[in-house]
């Protein structure tokens, strides 16, 4: 075990629990680990494939896409959008994508399970939101962690929590909150994993009692006059500095095209700065990519002012909590690899392009 293992594990109680549902075998198809940003690169490829999700934490991607900044890179960028982080990672394992905007939970599990890739930039901090219907929120307000037992005694069933698919960052964060923060067994709730569109429908229609979600779902639920689902806990109250989504290129791309990766990080940082200065314009771009029928500009403009919309670039800010996630993944039996910061991160590109680099 590396030197950070015991100190990190002291943050966690050994609870065991069901696996988070993401298991990826080693394929070796994306190249072996090697030199980083200092290595000489070969000639640029004609095209690269980006794997991403059409969800709010990928705001930097929406800005880059709408601003046309990928055109500056040389290679054509083909975008493949996935319904969740775990299927994106499966595509990574098959060699179908070259770099990804992915949630930190499936991204870290991918690395632990042998997919050669590195996190080179962060997207967002503390993106997770716990929402609940009026009934569950009343139990929570009155009883705190004992709300789950009280709910089951009074309602005759466990509270039903809807979230994104097993292995996604919101799913794992829900499990972390129940077992690590509240100190309860995971079986105090029923977990239902769904796609983003199905999740919003399930929550707004009252088919679940509560949920672990990301923007813009909590904002959309608050704005829905037919829904009594509202936020009652934010990630900053549960795990300050919680990592969200990240930019994660393959190790092969890092080794063979370090200058191209540096430029990917450069436009990512530029996009983050754009978001921070032009929030309304940025969410308009998100609405354009996702579709205004799914994400209206009005909801998007409210969602970007949420406590869950902390867009950043600096990967140094998410190292410690990412390694806590890795420890928790081991408890869930999702992985058996004890990762170090160097296993997950390559800071050299961000350090080179940032103002302080």
Supply the DSSP string of 199-263, one letter for each residue: HHHHHHTTSSSEEEEETTHHHHHHH-TT---EEEEEHHHHSTT-B-EEEEEBHHHHHH-HHHHHH
Longest dimension (CA), the chain: 66
Query: Angle CA(52)–CA(106)–CA(190) in degrees, nearest 5?
Result: 110
- State the pLDDT at residue 176: 94
| Whole-structure pTM value | 0.86
The 10s digit of each residue's pLDDT in 257-267 is: 999 999 999 99
* CA-based torsion, 1, 178, 167, 22: positive or negative: positive
DSSP assignments along 146-202, one per residue: GHHHHHHHHHSSPPEEEESSTTSHHHHHHHHIIIIIS---GGGSEEEE--HHHHHHH
Helix (H) or strand (E) holding 265: helix 258-277
Joined tokens for residue 305: 């002012």
Q: Other CB atoms closer than 10 Å to residue 291's CB: what's the count?
A: 10
How many degrees, rounded to 5, is the angle at CA 126 between CA 50 and CA 237?
160
- How much is the pLDDT for 152? 98
Alpha-carbon gap, residue 286 to 269, rounded angstroms: 17
The 10s digit of each residue's pLDDT in 124-182 is: 999 999 999 999 999 999 999 999 999 999 999 999 999 998 888 999 999 999 999 99
Tokens of 44: 């640029």
Domains recognised in the chain with CATH numbers: 5-126+242-353 (3.40.190.10), 128-238 (3.40.190.10)
pLDDT of residue 355: 67
Residue 51 three-state SS: strand
Which residue carries 């229609």 as its tokens? 205
All residue ranges of the chain with pLDDT < 70 are 1-42, 355-357
Peptide bond into 216 cis (omega under 30): yes
Q: What is the pLDDT of residue 297?
A: 87
């Amino acid at each position: 075990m590396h030197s950070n293992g015991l100190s990190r594990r002291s943050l966690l109680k050994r609870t065991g629990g069901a696996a988070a549902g993401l298991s990826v075998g080693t394929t070796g198809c994306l190249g072996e680990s090697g030199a980083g940003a200092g290595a000489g690169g070969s000639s640029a490829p004609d095209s690269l494939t980006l794997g991403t999700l059409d969800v709010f934490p990928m705001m930097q991607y929406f800005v880059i896409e709408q601003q046309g900044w990928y055109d500056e890179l040389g290679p054509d960028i083909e975008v493949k959008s996935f319904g969740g982080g775990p299927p994106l990672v499966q595509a990574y394992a098959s060699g179908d994508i070259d770099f990804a905007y992915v949630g930190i939970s499936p991204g870290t599990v991918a690395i632990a399970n042998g997919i050669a890739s590195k996190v080179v930039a962060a997207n967002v901090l503390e993106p997770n939101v716990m929402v609940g219907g009026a009934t569950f929120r009343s139990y929570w307000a009155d009883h705190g962690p004992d709300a789950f037992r009280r709910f089951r005694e009074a309602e005759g069933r466990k509270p039903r929590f809807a979230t994104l698919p097993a292995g996604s960052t919101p799913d794992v964060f829900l499990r972390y909150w129940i077992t690590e923060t509240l100190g309860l067994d995971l079986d105090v709730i029923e977990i239902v994993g769904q796609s983003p569109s199905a999740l919003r429908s399930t929550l707004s229609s009252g088919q679940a009692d509560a949920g672990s979600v990301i923007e813009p779902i909590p904002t959309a639920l608050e704005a829905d006059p037919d829904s009594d689902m509202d936020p009652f806990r934010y990630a900053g109250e549960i795990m300050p500095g919680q990592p969200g989504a990240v930019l994660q290129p393959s190790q092969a791309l890092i080794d063979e095209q370090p200058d191209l990766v540096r430029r990917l990080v450069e436009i990512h940082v530029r996009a983050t700065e754009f978001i921070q200065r032009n929030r309304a314009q940025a969410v308009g771009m998100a609405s354009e990519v996702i579709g205004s029928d799914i994400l209206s500009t009005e909801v998007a403009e409210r969602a970007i002012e949420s406590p869950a919309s902390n867009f950043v670039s600096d990967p140094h800010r998410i190292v410690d909590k990412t390694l806590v996630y890795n420890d928790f993944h081991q408890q869930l039996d999702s992985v058996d690899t004890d990762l170090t910061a160097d296993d997950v991160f390559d800071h050299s590109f961000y350090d080179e392009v940032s103002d302080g680099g």
